[in-house]
C-alpha cells in the first residue's frame, strides 16, 4: 500500500555506511522508494553523535544533535539503516535536551519521527513484499541497540521471509552482543575479540553461508573476524539483500573475486 | 579486600588466557541464562511484579529515614540492637567489639557481600579469631584465599578438579586424606567439617537480603541451609547489611522474593528463605542470646537522589553479570574489587573512586542486555554513562583518547570539512585495501587488526555518489 501523498523521507546514511558501504545507502533508498517514499539525502549529514555521547562528552553530543535536527527536521520522517544510530536519535536526543527549554520539544518532536529502516518499512509504510532473490541459507544478528532501544526484532525477519530462495536459520542466542560496542572494540580489543569469536561460533553452528544484520558497526566487526578466520561465511547488511543489491556486490570485507 | 580495579586491562587479558577459568565460565553462563529464561517464561506476571518491586523500593528510598528508624525500633522491641556504621572502618570496629565482648575465638559466617565490602574477615583474623565461611562457594574460595568472583556464586570460576585439589590439600589436617572427585562426595566432606565448626562457633555472622521495617526481621535466602545453622547455633548473631536493604513490610519482601530467586538462579524460590526476628525468647528451642544488626552506609546515603539513585534498588541477584558478554568473557576477578559485572561497574567507582576504577564503566559495549533482565529495572547502561560523563568532565581519559575525540567532534561539526576528510580517508583506505576489500593491518588501528581484518570502503562515499546520480 503506497501512502498518499508520498512521505518525504530524509535518509541519514550513517557515517559508517557513507564511508565504507555506499551500497547500503543505495539499498535503503531503493527500498524506501519502492515503499512509496520520496527520498532525500542531505549532504550536510556527518555523524549522529554516538561516539561523543558514549564517551561522556555531552557538549559535543548536543552540538551534533542540533546539527542533525536542523538539517533533517523538515522531512516527515528520518530513516537510518542502523538500529544504534536510530536509537541515538529516538531515545537519546530528547535526553540530551531534557533540561533545555529551547530544544526539548524540538528534539522530542524530531526523535518521534526517526526510524530504523526495517521497522520504518513495515510499521510505518506497511511495506512487506520486497522484490529480491537470495537463494541462500542465512542467519540474522540482531544489533543490540536496535533490539533493546527500538524493539526491532520481527521487522527484518518479516521482510526477509519474502525474499525469494532465502532460508533463515536462527542463531542459538539471538540476544547476544557481537562485541563491537563502538569505541569498546578499540579500548578493549582482547575482550571484544573473545565476544565476536563466540558470535562466529554461533554463526557457524547455524550452517548458514551468510550472516545479515541491520547495523554496519556489528557487520564490520563480524565480517572482519570472519575474514581473519578465512571463514566461508559472507556478511551483508539486511538492506542489501532486501533491495536485491547483492548480485554484483562483494560481501563486506571481500573482493570482487570472492563474490 | 585489596583493590585491583586499576589493573583491569591486564587482569582481563590474563583471564582470557586462563583455560580453567574459561571452562568454568562457559559452563556457568548457559546454566544461569537458560534456567532464568525457563522460569520467567512461565510467569505471566513477571513484568507486573517488576513494576511493583520498583514501586516498593522507590517508596522505601523516598522514606528511608522513616523505615530505618522503624526497623531499629522493632529490632529493639525484639531484644536486639542496631548499630550504625558510616564507613567500613566503623563497621569493622563495631563487629570486632561485639566479638571481643563475646570472647569469640571462632566465628561462622553466612554469605555476605557487605562483609566483603567492609573487609571483615581480614579484620577478624588479625584479631586472632578463626573465621569459617559456611556457604560452600565461599568456603571454597576461603580455602583458595581468593575473593568471590560472582555475587551469588562466589566460586563459579573454579572447576571441579580445582576444588578437589583444594579439599585434598586443606582437609588432611582433619584426617580426611582421600582425594575426592565426585560432587556429592566433595559436598559431604565439606558438610562434615562445617558441622563441627557450627557447633564450636561463638558468633555467627550473616548478611541480609531484606530488612523488614514492620517486624524488625532480617531475611536471608540460601540453598544450603548454612545460614540457619550460622544464625541460631552460636550465642551471638550479627547481621551485616547495607541501608537500602530495608523494605516496609513482610508482604513487600515476599513480592521482591518472587523476583530474586528467579532472576538469580532460575529458581522460583531458593531452598531456604529464613526470617530472623530478635534473639532467643523463653520457650524457644534454639536461637542466639544476642542479636545485632550492623547497618552500613558506605556512600549509599549520598546516592539518594543523585544521578546514581536507581542503583539503590539493586537486590544483588547477579542477573546482570550472568547476561553480560564482558563478564562472561573474563569472570569476576578482573574487575578487581568486591562487585563485578554491570552492577559492580556502577557501584565500584562510587565506593573506591572513579580514578581507580575508571576502566569499569568503559568496559561495556552498551548492549543493554543487563538492564533488560534486571528485575528492579535499573538503567545500568545509563548509569555507566553517568560515570563516563564525570570522567570526561574531570579529564580522566588519557590524552590520546581525548584528543581523538576532540578532533573527530571538530570535523563532524563541519560538514564540508567532514566530506573532505572522509573523502581522503576513503581514498587512502581503498588504496591500501586494493581489490581484496580489506586490510590485515593498519597504522593506528592495531587494536582492531590484531584479531580482525579491516573492511575497506567499497568506493567513493555514499553522499558523493548520491549527489552525482541525483543532482538537486
- Binning pLDDT at 50, 70 and 90, where does residue B28 land? confident
Within 125-164 of B, beta carbons closer than 8 Å to A belong to none
Confidence (pLDDT) at A37: 97
Q: How many CB pairs under 8 A join A and B?
A: 217
B434 vs B235, higher pLDDT: B235
Write the CATH number of the domain with boundaries A137-258.
3.40.50
Q: Does A139 touch chain B (CB under 8 A)?
A: no
The residues that bridge with B82 in the sheet, in sequence order, are B293
Q: Smallest CA–CA separation between B121 and chain A, in Å?
A: 32
Could you tell me which residues come within 8 angstroms of residue B283 by beta carbon, excluding any fewer than 6 positions away?
none
- For the cut 90, the answer to whether the pLDDT of residue A9 exceeds it is yes
- For the cut 70, the answer to whether the pLDDT of residue B55 exceeds it is yes
Q: Smallest CA–CA separation between B386 and chain A, in Å?
A: 7
Grid cell of A114 as nine digits: 526517526
- Binning pLDDT at 50, 70 and 90, where does residue B472 land? low
- For the cut 90, the answer to whether the pLDDT of residue B444 exceeds it is no
> B158-200 pLDDT, tens per residue?
999 999 999 999 999 999 999 999 999 999 999 999 999 999 9
> What is the pLDDT of chain A when averaged over all its residues?
96
Write the CATH number of the domain with boundaries A8-124.
3.40.50
- Binning pLDDT at 50, 70 and 90, where does residue B308 land? very high
- Binning pLDDT at 50, 70 and 90, where does residue B446 land? confident
Confidence (pLDDT) at B72: 98
List Cα–Cα distances, A243 to A107, A115, A197, B363, in angstroms. 31, 18, 29, 36
> A188-201 pLDDT, tens per residue?
999 999 999 999 99
User: What CA–CA distance (Å, rounded) separates A32 from B125?
Assistant: 70
**Interface predicted TM-score (ipTM):** 0.96
Which of these, A150, A64, A28, A242, lies nearest to B411 by C-alpha position? A64
> What is the pLDDT of chain B when averaged over all its residues?
95
User: What CA–CA distance (Å, rounded) separates B169 from B166?
Assistant: 5
Could you tell me which residues come within 8 angstroms of residue B464 by beta carbon, excluding any fewer than 6 positions away?
B419, B423
> A89-123 pLDDT, tens per residue?
999 999 999 999 999 999 999 999 999 999 999 99
Q: Does A36 touch chain B (CB under 8 A)?
A: no
Percent share of chain A, pLDDT over 70: 98
Backbone angles phi, psi at B166, to 5 degrees: -60, -45
Using CB atoms within 10 A of its CB, is residue B172 exposed (0-12), middle (13-18) or buried (19+)? exposed
Residue with cell 531503493: A30
User: What CA–CA distance (Å, rounded) separates B341 from B5?
Assistant: 12
- Binning pLDDT at 50, 70 and 90, where does residue B445 land? confident
- Binning pLDDT at 50, 70 and 90, where does residue A256 land? confident
Could you tell me which residues come within 8 angstroms of residue B18 by beta carbon, excluding any fewer than 6 positions away?
none
Three-state secondary structure of A130-193: CCCECCCEEEEECCHHHHHHHCCCHHHHHHHCCCECCEECCCCCCCCCCCCCCCHHHHCHHHHH
Other CB atoms closer than 10 Å to residue B101's CB: what's the count?
A: 11
Grid cell of A125 as nine digits: 509504510
> A117-171 pLDDT, tens per residue?
999 999 999 999 999 999 999 999 999 999 999 999 999 999 999 999 999 999 9
Backbone angles phi, psi at B232, to 5 degrees: -115, -10
- Binning pLDDT at 50, 70 and 90, where does residue A5 land? confident
Q: Which residues of A touch B453 (CB under 8 A)?
A: 223-225, 227-228, 253
- Binning pLDDT at 50, 70 and 90, where does residue A257 land? confident
Residue of A190, A202, A213 to mutate for B, most B C-beta atoms under 10 A: A190
Contact between B412 and A45 using a beta-carbon 8 Å cutoff: no
- For the cut 60, the answer to whether the pLDDT of residue A1 exceeds it is no
> B249-301 pLDDT, tens per residue?
999 999 999 999 999 999 999 999 999 999 999 999 889 999 999 999 999 99
Three-state secondary structure of chain B: CCCCHHHHHHHHHHHHCCHHHHHHHHHHHHHHHHHHHHHHHCCCCHHHHHHHHHHHHHHHHHCHHHHHHHHHHHHHHCCCEEEEECCHHHHHHHHHHHHHHCCCCEEEECCCHHHHHCCHHHHHHHCCCEEEECCHHHHHHHHCCCCCCCCCCCCCCCCHHHHHHHHHHHCHHHCCCCCCCCHHHHHHHHHHHHHHHHHHCCEEEECCCEEECCCCEEEEEECCCHHHHHHHCCCEEEEEEEHHHEECCHHHHHHHHHHHHHHHHCCCCCCEEEEECCCCCCCCCCCCCEEEEEEECCCHHHHCCCCCHHHHHCCCCCHHHHCCHHHHHHCCHHHCCCCCHHHHHHHHHHHHCCCCCCCCCCCCCCCCHHHHHCCCCCCHHHHHHHHHHHHHHCCCCCHHHHHHHHHHHHHHCCHHHHHHHHHHHHHHHHHHHHHHCEECCCCCCHHHHCCCCEECCCCCCHHHHHHHHCCC
Q: What angle do CA B17, B21, B22 make, to 5 degrees?
A: 70
Confidence (pLDDT) at A32: 98
**Structural domain boundaries in chain B:** 1-28+328-397, 43-301, 400-469
Contact between B330 and A224 using a beta-carbon 8 Å cutoff: no
CATH superfamily of domain region B43-301: NagB/RpiA/CoA transferase-like (3.40.50.10420)
Q: Which residue of B has its CA nearest to A12?
A: B463
Are A192 and B367 in contact, with CB atoms under 8 Å apart?
no
Contact between A198 and B418 using a beta-carbon 8 Å cutoff: no
Confidence (pLDDT) at B69: 98
- Binning pLDDT at 50, 70 and 90, where does residue A259 land? low
Segment A72-83 shows an average pLDDT of 98
Which of these, A17, A46, A73, A12, lies nearest to A213 by C-alpha position? A17
What is residue A68's three-state secondary structure?
A: helix
Within 394-423 of B, beta carbons closer than 8 Å to A belong to 397, 401, 405, 408-409, 411-413, 415, 418-419, 422
Are B81 and B112 in contact, with CB atoms under 8 Å apart?
no
Other CB atoms closer than 10 Å to residue A102's CB: what's the count?
A: 8
Amino acid at each position: 500500500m503506497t501512502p498518499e501523498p508520498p512521505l518525504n523521507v530524509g535518509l541519514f546514511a550513517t557515517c559508517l555506511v557513507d564511508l565504507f558501504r555506499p551500497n547500503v545507502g543505495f539499498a535503503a533508498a531503493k527500498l524506501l522508494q519502492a515503499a512509496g517514499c520520496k527520498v532525500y539525502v542531505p549532504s550536510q549529514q556527518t555523524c549522529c553523535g554516538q561516539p561523543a555521547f558514549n564517551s561522556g562528552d555531552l557538549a559535543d553530543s548536543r552540538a551534533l544533535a542540533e546539527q542533525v535536527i536542523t538539517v533533517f527536521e523538515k522531512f516527515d520522517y528520518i530513516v537510518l539503516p542502523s538500529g544504534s544510530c536510530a536509537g541515538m536519535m529516538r531515545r537519546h536526543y530528547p535526553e540530551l535536551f531534557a533540561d533545555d527549554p529551547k530544544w526539548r520539544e524540538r528534539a522530542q518532536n524530531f526523535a518521534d519521527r526517526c526510524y530504523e529502516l526495517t521497522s520504518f518499512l513495515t510499521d510505518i509504510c506497511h511495506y512487506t513484499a520486497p522484490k529480491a532473490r537470495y537463494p541462500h541459507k542465512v542467519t540474522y544478528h540482531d544489533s543490540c541497540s536496535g533490539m533493546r532501544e527500538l524493539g526491532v526484532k520481527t521487522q527484518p525477519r518479516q521482510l526477509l521471509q519474502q525474499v525469494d530462495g532465502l532460508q533463515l536459520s536462527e542463531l542459538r542466542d539471538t540476544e547476544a552482543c557481537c562485541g563491537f560496542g563502538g569505541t569498546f572494540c578499540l579500548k578493549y580489543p582482547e575482550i571484544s575479540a573473545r565476544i565476536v569469536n563466540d558470535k562466529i561460533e554461533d554463526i557457524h553452528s547455524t550452517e548458514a553461508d551468510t550472516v545479515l544484520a541491520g547495523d554496519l558497526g556489528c557487520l564490520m566487526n563480524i565480517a572482519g573476524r570472519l575474514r581473519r578466520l578465512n571463514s566461508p561465511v559472507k556478511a551483508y547488511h539486511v538492506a542489501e539483500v532486501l533491495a536485491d543489491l547483492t548480485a554484483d556486490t562483494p560481501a563486506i570485507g571481500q573482493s570482487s573475486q570472492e563474490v | 579486600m585489596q583493590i585491583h580495579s586499576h589493573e583491569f586491562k591486564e587482569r582481563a587479558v590474563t583471564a582470557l588466557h586462563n583455560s580453567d577459568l574459561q571452562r568454568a565460565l562457559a559452563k556457568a553462563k548457559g546454566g544461569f541464562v537458560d534456567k532464568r529464561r525457563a522460569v520467567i517464561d512461565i510467569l505471566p506476571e513477571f513484568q507486573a511484579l517488576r513494576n511493583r518491586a520498583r514501586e516498593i523500593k522507590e517508596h522505601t528510598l523516598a522514606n528511608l529515614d522513616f523505615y530505618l528508624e522503624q526497623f531499629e525500633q522493632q529490632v529493639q522491641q525484639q531484644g536486639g540492637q542496631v548499630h550504625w556504621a558510616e564507613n567500613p572502618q566503623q563497621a569493622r570496629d563495631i563487629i570486632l567489639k561485639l566479638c571481643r565482648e563475646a570472647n569469640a575465638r571462632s566465628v561462622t559466617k553466612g554469605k555476605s557481600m557487605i562483609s566483603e565490602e567492609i573487609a571483615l574477615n581480614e579484620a577478624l583474623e588479625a584479631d586472632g579469631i578463626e573465621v569459617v565461611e559456611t556457604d560452600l562457594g565461599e568456603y571454597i574460595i576461603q580455602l583458595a584465599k581468593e575473593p568471590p568472583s560472582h555475587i551469588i556464586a562466589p566460586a563459579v570460576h573454579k572447576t571441579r578438579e580445582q576444588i578437589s585439589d583444594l579439599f585434598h590439600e586443606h582437609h588432611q589436617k582433619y584426617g580426611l586424606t582421600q582425594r575426592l572427585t565426585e560432587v556429592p562426595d566433595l559436598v559431604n566432606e565439606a558438610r562434615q567439617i562445617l558441622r563441627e565448626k557450627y557447633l564450636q562457633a561463638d558468633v555467627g555472622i550473616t548478611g541480609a537480603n531484606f530488612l523488614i521495617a514492620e517486624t524488625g526481621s532480617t531475611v536471608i535466602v540460601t540453598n544450603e541451609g548454612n545460614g540457619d545453622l550460622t544464625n541460631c547455633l552460636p550465642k551471638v548473631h550479627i547481621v551485616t547489611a547495607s541501608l537500602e536493604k530495608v523494605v516496609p513490610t513482610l508482604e513487600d519482601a515476599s513480592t521482591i522474593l518472587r523476583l530474586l530467586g528467579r532472576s538469580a538462579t532460575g529458581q522460583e524460590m531458593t531452598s531456604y528463605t529464613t526470617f530472623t526476628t530478635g534473639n532467643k525468647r523463653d520457650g524457644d528451642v534454639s536461637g542466639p542470646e544476642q542479636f545485632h544488626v550492623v547497618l552500613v552506609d558506605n556512600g549509599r546515603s549520598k546516592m539518594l537522589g543523585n544521578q546514581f539513585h536507581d542503583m539503590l534498588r539493586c537486590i544483588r541477584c547477579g542477573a546482570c553479570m550472568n547476561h553480560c558478554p564482558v563478564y562472561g568473557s573474563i569472570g569476576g576477578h578482573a574487575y578487581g574489587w568486591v562487585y563485578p559485572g554491570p552492577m559492580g561497574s556502577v557501584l565500584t567507582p562510587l565506593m573506591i573512586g572513579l580514578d581507580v576504577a575508571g576502566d569499569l564503566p568503559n568496559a561495556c559495549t552498551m548492549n543493554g542486555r543487563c538492564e533488560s533482565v534486571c528485575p528492579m529495572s535499573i538503567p545500568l547502561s545509563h548509569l555507566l554513562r553517568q560515570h563516563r560523563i564525570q570522567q570526561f568532565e574531570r579529564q580522566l581519559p588519557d590524552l590520546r583518547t581525548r584528543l581523538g575525540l576532540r578532533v573527530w567532534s571538530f570535523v563532524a561539526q563541519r560538514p564540508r570539512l567532514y566530506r573532505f576528510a572522509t573523502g581522503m580517508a576513503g581514498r587512502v583506505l581503498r588504496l591500501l585495501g586494493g581489490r581484496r576489500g580489506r586490510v590485515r593491518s593498519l597504522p593506528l588501528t592495531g587494536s582492531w587488526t590484531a584479531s580482525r581484518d579491516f573492511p575497506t570502503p567499497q568506493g567513493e562515499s555514499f553522499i558523493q555518489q548520491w549527489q552525482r546520480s541525483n543532482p538537486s
